[in-house]
Amino acid sequence: MRCEGTKEELSLPPGTITRSRVKKFKESLQIYVGKLLEHMEDQGSIKAQVIIHTQLGFQCFQQAQYVFS
């Protein structure tokens, strides 16, 4: 993730995808999503809550599929 003024860009670096690059990308993505949710909550938006509940529901669905398959 890099900053250009107020614009942030999130992209995988070119080249071979190694475990360390994946780890760095994952950390950057988590920070980006965290900032996005904070921004949405600061504005009193219900969208942040919808995103969280949707993600939690999807994770539970995936776990159930894994258990029953």
Question: Is 3 strand, coil or helix?
Answer: strand
Q: Indicate if the pLDDT at residue 17 is higher than 80.
A: yes
The pTM (predicted TM-score) of the whole model is 0.47
Provide the CA 26 distance to its chain's centre, in angstroms.
8
pLDDT tens per residue across span 24-59: 888 888 888 888 778 777 776 666 566 666 655 555
Which helix (H) or strand (E) segment is 35 a member of?
Answer: helix 19-42
Predicted pLDDT of residue 56: 58
